[in-house]
Amino acid sequence: QSKSAVRLKEDMKKIAVSPLNKQRDTTCPKVFGVSLLELQQQGLSKNGIPIVVWNIVEYLTQHGMTQEGLFRVNGSMRMVEQLRLQYERGEEVELVKDGDVYSAASLLKLFLRELPDGIITSALHPRFIQLYQ
């Protein structure tokens, strides 16, 4: 890609995301950027799995398994941010209607990236090291 195309793509991401960030409803519990334990304590988990992860994986299993580059190809940043805001507001998210497989995969990657402790928390590191040895 040319430098101008890359720059344009970066600028479009900023434009697409910036106005939506200010619309967060503070009455709903935060979903992104909080620990897995906190999500579970807030009742935002299903069988120990965050509802957002459960919904996305279920959707991708049904609709995205034949898509090439599912986690390599980025979804629409505007769509990802809109879906994120729906989850943050506590709205019911219908990925079949409101999203697409690439945006859903990007949303899952974003959720995992924003976990403060990661999937395997520092408390679990010694147990995994012990199992490895």
- Sign (positive/negative) of CA torsion 51, 63, 95, 114? positive
Helical pair 51-63 and 101-113, crossing angle rounded to 10 deg: 150
Domain range enclosing 29: 3-132
C-alpha distances in Å from residue 61, one per residue of 54, 91, 94, 110: 11, 22, 15, 18
Of 98 and 60, which is predicted with more confidence? 60
Residue pair 48/40 in contact by the 8 Å Cβ criterion:
yes
List Cβ neighbours of 101 (8 Å cut-off, separation of 6 or more): 59, 60, 63, 64, 67, 70, 75
CATH number at residue 71: 1.10.555.10
How many domains in the chain?
1
Of 106 and 25, which is predicted with more confidence? 106
Query: Looking at this protein, which amino acid is placed at residue 11?
Result: D
Confidence label for 3 from pLDDT (cuts 50, 70 and 90): low
Percent of the chain, pLDDT > 70? 80
Q: What pLDDT is recorded for position 121? A: 81
Confidence label for 89 from pLDDT (cuts 50, 70 and 90): very high
104-114 in b/e form (b: 16+ CB < 10 A) is bbbbbebbeee
